[in-house]
Structure 1
Amino acid sequence: MELRRAALRALQIAEPAEKAAAALALHPQHHPGLMDGHGPLLDPDAALQAEGPLPGRTERPLLVDPREVQPRSPFTREGRAALLHAVAHIELNAINLALDAVWRFAGMPRAYYRDWLRVAAEEALHFSLLSEHLATLGCCYGDHPAHDGLWAMTARTAGDITARMALVPRTLEARGLDATPPMQARLRQAGDERAVQILDVILRDEIGHVAIGNHWYRWLCERDGLDPVAHYAVLAERHRAPRLRGPFNIAARSAAGFTDTEIAALGAL
């Protein structure tokens, strides 16, 4: 199946484990025709049409306003399960946003689709690792309420690929770079070394995912003659992006390709 169409089909899958398996199968390493630029595996100009609601999802978890999600302490089994459930929900939505980036936006370079198919597969691995660990805590994905902030921004930027790159990977997902080390410290204090190890994998990969967002945001700005810093402020206001707040993981953000100017602006916040 043509890979952009396959990404749309995977996005429409409701059952989380099945969606993760479909995303893993789309990893570019499984599709040499995509890697070498030859063959009929991907048509960037294909006109695709989604039928039905996106993304496909099950009735659980219950989606609530972010303000209704209670703080989770990692120092009880139930609290640790709720905390990691929230991370699993983010990772599942990250699969959705990567698949959406592949099918929705036509006419981009082949490397763009290769990047986002790899992101979808890596997010699927993260979700699978977290699901396995949740089972050891007596929890399944869907057992706790969750909020939909990541997908909400994905939907708000559906008509503007530059806004999508600016405000999803390099804004919302970049917040994960900041939040992960403190979360790991608390989980380590709680004695959950397996959770710390899984978050090591996630942090390593998410630096690469944010870097992909940075790369394609700047590529699009250069293509369209836009100043990346000034245009980011315009997009953040237009699409009601959340206000950034520290503390920031400066080392991870630098590794993910944020410029010295952008890092200095974070310091001012």
Structure 2
Amino acid sequence: MPHQQIDSQPSANVLPTHLAQAAIIALGIANSVEKAQVTRQYAKAWQSGEISLVGTAPIPKEPAREEKPLLVPPQEVPRRKVTQEAEGRVAMLHALSHIELHAINLCWDIIARFASTPMPKGFYDDWVSIADDEARHHLLLCERLDQLGSFYGALPAHAGLWKGAEVTEHNLKARLAVVPMVLEARGIDVTPGIIKKLKAVKDFESAERLQVIYDDEITHVAKGKKWFEYLCELDKEDPVESWQNIILTLFKGRVRSPFNEAGRDKANFPIDFYGPIADL
């Protein structure tokens, strides 16, 4: 895929001339709903061919964000217990909406940050598609929060989510090893249990939305793993050994059990990868 060196002055009012510029514009939008809506617009433009070049653009240190939610250490995030009362469910959905917003930023960051790395068009097709999914997920959760009398930003949120981006900013293979194959894979493990609890308290509307997210997460992990293995093949490395070395080095082996092996298998992510280094 050709990578033209194109000067860019990001503006949300004009359709970007290339994908890296679209990424920078999206990363620079502070309001989460607007970011998600613009992401969906740009994804459609890429998929239709209105945006066809990858390009390059300067990368911000961090995505723009509004003052709320207040970012706090993980232990200070409100308790996320699914109960009949709306308060616990709102806390859960708020935390998940924060994760989905983070996922939008990670998608655009991987596109912009590694735009100079020669990759096939299919790589960009996949990451734009994932960004579109994450934007749709965030909007689904924001809408549900509104229905429950709350909104994204109403509660404090986890401050450490961008760490996965920071520790992998130097290397595309490491980014793929950590983000889809650790962070998203964790969603495969925990989401079915949340869905079950929501159904138990008869919140079928929230459960249905999480089922959509869960099904998409499986495809995201599969796509991330596919491109990780593509890079391993180029480097003549064994994917399992390479992934384990990256996680042990950069992510301190933080692969937590229990695992949803059936869900991970659907993502073509067998236990041979993660089992030997779990909970180290």
CA contact (8 A) 1:91 1:126 kept: yes
After TM superposition, the structure 1 = structure 2 runs for residues 83-98 of structure 1, keeping only pairs within 5 Å, are 83-98=92-107
1:81 aligned partner: 90
Residue type at the aligned position of 1:9: I
Contact 1:27 1:120 in 2 (8 A): yes
Structure 1 CA distance for aligned equivalents of residues 251 and 265 of structure 2: 25
Task: Please tell me whether residue 215 in structure 1 is matched to residue 226 in structure 2.
Answer: yes
Kindly indicate whether residue 125 of structure 2 is the aligned counterpart of residue 114 of structure 1.
Answer: yes
Encode CA deviations 1:144-165: one digit per residue, 9 max, x unaligned: 1111333210122111100000
**TM alignment of 1:58-73, pairs within 5 A:** 58-73=66-81
The structural deviation recorded for 1:28 is: 5.0
Q: How does 1:70-219 map to 2 (within 5 A)?
A: 70-75=78-83, 76-106=85-115, 107-219=118-230
* Contact 2:255/2:279 (<8 A) preserved: no
| Structure 1: gaps of 5 or more residues | 35-39
The residue that corresponds to 2:30 in the other structure is 14
Q: Deviations over 1:124-171 (max 9, x none)?
A: 000001000001111110111111333210122111100000011110
Equivalent-residue separation in structure 1 for 2:79 and 2:204 (angstroms): 21
Mapped contact 2:78–2:155 kept (Cα < 8 A): no
Q: Aligned equivalents of 2:207 and 2:169: distance in 1?
A: 34
Check 1:267–1:57 CA distance in 2 against 1; reply closer, same or farther (3 A cut).
closer
Cα displacement (A) at 1:7: 1.5
TM-score (norm 2): 0.87
Of the candidates 231, 248, 259, which is equivalent to residue 242 of structure 2? 231
Q: In structure 1, what is the Cα distance between the partners aligned to 2:218 and 2:189?
A: 11
Q: How many Å apart are 1:27 and its aligned residue?
A: 2.1
Partner of 2:162: helix, strand, or coil? helix
2:63 maps to which residue? 55
Distance 1:82 1:145, change over 3 A: same
C-alpha spacing 1:73/1:90, structure 2 compared with 1 (3 Å)? same
Gaps of 5+ in 2: 1-16
Contact residue 20 and residue 125 of structure 1 kept, 8 A: yes
Structure 2 CA distance for partners of 1:259 and 1:189, relative to 1, 3 Å = closer
Deviation string 1:102-132 (CA, Å, 9 cap, x unpaired) is 1111221111111000100110000001000
CA RMSD, Structure 1 to Structure 2 (Å): 2.0
Relative to its length, the structure with more helix (as a share) is: 1
TM-score w.r.t. structure 1 length?
0.90
Amino acid aligned to 2:76: E
Structure 1 contact 167–241 (Cα < 8 Å) conserved: no
Instruction: Determine helix, strand or coil for the equivalent of 1:26.
Output: helix
Gap change, CA 1:204 and 1:86, over 3 Å in 2 = same
Distance 1:159 1:72, change over 3 A: same
Q: Measure, in 2, the Cα distance between the counterparts of 1:199 and 1:56.
A: 26
**How many residues end up aligned between the 2 structures?**
261
- Counting aligned pairs with the same residue, the percent is 42
2:41 alignment partner in structure 1 = 25
Residue-by-residue CA offset, 1:185-221 (whole Å, 9 max, x unaligned): 1111121100000011001111011111110111111
